[in-house]
Structure 1
Amino acid sequence: TQAERSALTRETVIQAVVDCIVEEGINAATAARIAERSGVTWGAIVHQFGDKDSLLLAVVERSF
């Protein structure tokens, strides 16, 4: 379903952010790098999360 695909996309992007930060450092977690690592366009990421701050908040929320 669309909801399942959306949830999978969100999780894929969040994991890409975590991997990027762990492997390359916080400064490497640029919009372009996150999109590249996740295989999701930045436009689709913005659609899911709104902006980079909201994406980073989702990463933190998932971690705790």
Structure 2
Amino acid sequence: MLANEADVAYNQDYDLGHVTANAQSLRDRSLRYARLQAAALSVEDSADLIARVMEDRYGEQP
């Protein structure tokens, strides 16, 4: 965040983008993002999951 700049959120849809500085919308989006972060796997666990799925689907590759 730059000094003296307002917080904004950007949302991209299929064919349209939307920017908002609405305080309630920013709080809601921040809370949803924090929940996603809390539920996400670590980088290492994500890599392990991807490797397992790839192996299950395509077999072990050299």
Normalised by the length of structure 2, the TM-score is: 0.32
Structure with more relative contact order (C-alpha pairs < 8 Å, separation 6 or more) = 1
Higher-Rg member (1/2): 2
> Which has the larger helix fraction?
1
Normalised by the length of structure 1, the TM-score is: 0.31
